[in-house]
Structure 1
Amino acid sequence: MNFLPEKLTITLWDFSWYTRTGPGQVFEDLDRAFAEAVDRGYNTVRICAMPFLLFGSGLPTDDLAFQGLGGDYGQRTRWYDLAPSKGMNGRDQLVALFQAAERHDCYVILSSWEYQQSSSMSADRRWWDALRRVPPEDRAVALADSLADMVDFLAERNLSDRIAFVELHNEVQVGYLADVLPDGSVRRVLGLQESLERGIDRFKSRRPDTPVTVNYARVPVGELRGFPRNADVAVFHPYVYGVLDELLDVFALRDPSRPFPQELARRELLRADAPDLGEWTPPAEDRWRLEATVVGPREVYVHDWCDPEKWDRRLYERYALFAAQMTSVLELWIDAAADLAAQRDIPLVFGEGWVGYTPLHGRFEEGPVGAEICRRAARLSAAAGAWGTIVCSNAAPHHPMWNDVALQQEVNAIFRTASSS
């Protein structure tokens, strides 16, 4: 890892680097995307590299096509607002990304979102079906083999020196990797440890020269002992939610066991022309996509049909009730993550954060409150000795926040120039 930057300033390109490559889309020109990233102070991109699709599924990948969740469904929801695309060679796109990274002196964190949502954006369900066919107890090893094949592929083209490190999967306790656990398991981090360690061992047996790890949603402070003992990097996503959690709870957006408060939502969140929740579904031929993504129908509905000003106004009006809690959680999580990394003697990276999943056109994360959270998180990350961090998850070419160049330059400079405690 000696050839890598002293600090990684990360922008989250997720799966968008292959789902948005059509004419006029933000990743049509990868050189432009990297040049804009460097101008904003980034030196690293973090991606879903679709390793299983490209190297493990056995499916043809020379003419890949992508789309949204079906019709107008999801077209105002972050990540899913896709125009149909076609004709992309997946392995060629991977090579093009790495070649552009090399030209702009940037690095790549290879990960996978495939057991969370990537396949829901494929033009057909074959990728999703191939993922599901892998027995749950074999999925971490299957990902490890796919990623090792990918690194071999890049090494053959003299591009593997652009890899910062490899993650077997994104947010391992949130998605279908957790199918290996008994129904109702609460301690997912502990329950997944053995499976993930087997996957990491498999990758290390094939590519001992490439750092490998997994990452976790939030920072599971009650289960950090379950972090894989053979991981090379400690990676966490400190989404503190707070005031956003209250909104999710009041409107039962992630709890389908409770009634959805339709009339309350109409008064406080939705546009005047919003249909009822039950009326908003994708076309019948696309409904498999709802199973292939971890974002639930209620959340898509409200993100599609909310008035962004109403959404943001509610968060601002109630933020004072949660400000101290959100600050405390952020500090605690970063301290706990840093302590684990120090105890294991491995680098610490924050690959996503800081507030949570918000509507595409919401501005809370880059507004006066959210921007200050980004600044604070950068200072805390640096003070904790983190190797890498982000401005926030919405600071990427496919989100409106990309246009706030000054904020990204400022926050990246804070992290780069601040010293650790």
Structure 2
Amino acid sequence: MTETRRYLGSGTTESDTSSLTGAPPLHLPQRLTITLWDFSWYTRAEDGGPYADLDATCAKAAQLGYNTVRICAAPLLLFGDLGLEDLAADLEIEGLGKSPDGGFYGRGTRWYDVPGGYRVNVRERLLELFDAAARHGMVIILASWEYQQSPVFARSPRWFDAIDAVPLNGRYRVLADAWDRLIAAVTAAGHRERIAMVELHNEVDFSILPALADGGSEELHRLRELHPDLLITASYGKPPHLAMHTLPDGFGAAQFHVYSYGVLDALQKMIDIRSEGTSNFPNPSLSALLRPHAPSVAEYGRLDDWKYRATVVTDQMLYGYDWIDPDAWDTWLYNEYGPYREVMRREIDSRVIAIAAWARWKSIPAVVGEGWIGYTPLNGTFEEGPVGRNLAEGGIKTALEQGVWGMVLCSNAAPHHPLWSAEEWQQRMNNYILAAPAGPESSRYLQSQQPSMTVLAPSERTSHAF
């Protein structure tokens, strides 16, 4: 019997989405396996800290299968021409400050658990990182978290005050100028080909910045014209997945973040941990999850006022995360996860697909620079455990099927997080990513570009050396 197939319309015709959404520059890896070092590479460089020895940390990352680190390169501090040159060369790292009980604020959080107590030359350290990356065959995604939180870890408010003094409508221009100078300095140091990507700023939708359409798009175009051989872009914490066509022009890559809070969001709302100024905080639900003998909010005290303005993290989050019982936190999430399981899986898949489809339409590389569940306490293990790893593996699989060029294993897969100790899982997942075929588009980039595209040498513009 001959099998016949009915034609049911073009929607039933399968198309291959596994080739890259857009081809990256030829000198870069065909896939990026990214570990997120954010600002921690200079805020957690204390003696014995996870980034005390940059060469050893890069070596470990390479051993685990990573070929890319994504950092806050602090362009406004280093090259913003904001009168911070002396601070950039001698930055005192304090963290969020000492708490009344003899500890330090933020010790129960991720990214904010900075004990401080040392000074760092950030200019020299950036060059050291590039040198170490070169020795271990890694490339670097350069971003800025400065209008989100980086200055909060300094002892002095000068850094934050200087960037906060820039009028809102001028911040993208100042960022682009600073990036131009920083790129020139990195080029002069012989590391231009180590630059995997430059992001005007991290998560422009969750930072003290105007909408990207209000000046940022023009600055992306300008910076790309100055450096046509580099991928220049900006990142979104929550891109408009249901309306990607509303994004402004100017992206050189689709570096967007994919978080599915699901059950975590339900817990956050129940305990009201992300708000600020709530009367009668903590509420009974949060109080039930706190460790025994947790101090009252009044007893725990507050950071210096300027530090709240310099970060997107609230006072309620800091108190709650510092005093939460991680086991009670995890138990609640595991007990309540069932009804959210399929929703969270599908949300991750649909967001990855939307990002990749938009990137393919624009013919630019797609990257998932952060993901997959959300912000949890430092010692909570929900995302590091079997549930979180399963969601991460699903997201990575979908990303590869959709032609995404680079991705994190998890935002928490970095030296300053407990997940760093899950070595076998990281090696296995990185090998899985690197073994995926990139498709024919990976061998083509700039070949179709006009020969007249040239890059000005640092000497042909304002020179800024390290």
> What band does the TM-score fall into relative to the shorter chain?
over 0.9
**Equivalent residue, structure 1, for 2:320:** 302
**Equivalent residue, structure 2, for 1:102:** 134
**Equivalent residue, structure 1, for 2:212:** 192
1:237 and 2:257 equivalent?
Answer: yes
Give unpaired runs (5+ residues) of structure 1.
Answer: 181-190
**Equivalent residue, structure 2, for 1:31:** 55
**Equivalent residue, structure 1, for 2:121:** 89
The correspondence for 1:338, drawn from 332, 356, 377, is: 356
Number of positions where the alignment pairs a residue of Structure 1 with one of Structure 2: 406
| Cα separation, partners in 2 of 1:201 and 1:277, compared to 1, 3 Å | same
Secondary structure of 1:65 counterpart: strand
**1:206 shift after superposition:** 2.6
* Cα distance in 2 for residues equivalent to 1:261 and 1:198: 44
**Equivalent residue, structure 2, for 1:183:** none
Residue 241 of structure 2 aligns to which amino acid in structure 1? V
**Equivalent residue, structure 2, for 1:142:** 174
Secondary structure of 1:45 counterpart: strand
**Equivalent residue, structure 1, for 2:4:** none
| Cα separation, partners in 2 of 1:277 and 1:87, compared to 1, 3 Å | closer
**Equivalent residue, structure 1, for 2:395:** 377
Secondary structure of 2:236 counterpart: strand
* Cα distance in 2 for residues equivalent to 1:173 and 1:340: 18
* Cα distance in 1 for residues equivalent to 2:149 and 2:69: 19
Matches within 5 A, 1:204-353: 204-256=224-276, 259=279, 260-267=281-288, 269-283=289-303, 286-353=304-371
Higher Cα radius of gyration: 2
The correspondence for 1:133, drawn from 144, 154, 165, is: 165
* Cα distance in 1 for residues equivalent to 2:359 and 2:438: 14
Residue 264 of structure 1 aligns to which amino acid in structure 2? S
The structure showing larger relative contact order (alpha-carbon pairs under 8 Å, at least 6 residues apart) is 2
Q: Is the 8 A contact 1:381 1:415 kept in 2?
A: no
1:111 and 2:143 equivalent?
Answer: yes
Q: Deviations over 1:103-149 (max 9, x none)?
A: 00100000000000000001110000011111111111111111111
Q: Is the 8 A contact 2:33 2:68 kept in 1?
A: yes
Residue 276 of structure 1 aligns to which amino acid in structure 2? S
Task: Out of 69-78 and 106-115, give the one that drifted further.
Answer: 69-78
Q: Is the 8 A contact 2:275 2:314 kept in 1?
A: no
Q: Is the 8 A contact 1:383 1:420 kept in 2?
A: no
Secondary structure of 2:89 counterpart: coil
Residue 195 of structure 1 aligns to which amino acid in structure 2? G
* Cα distance in 2 for residues equivalent to 1:24 and 1:337: 39
* Cα distance in 1 for residues equivalent to 2:55 and 2:352: 34
TM-score, scaled relative to structure 2: 0.84
The correspondence for 1:202, drawn from 219, 222, 226, is: 222
CA RMSD of aligned residues (A): 1.6
TM-score, scaled relative to structure 1: 0.93
* Cα distance in 2 for residues equivalent to 1:52 and 1:151: 13
| Cα separation, partners in 2 of 1:200 and 1:299, compared to 1, 3 Å | same
Q: Percent identity?
A: 42
* Cα distance in 2 for residues equivalent to 1:143 and 1:356: 27
| Cα separation, partners in 2 of 1:271 and 1:49, compared to 1, 3 Å | same
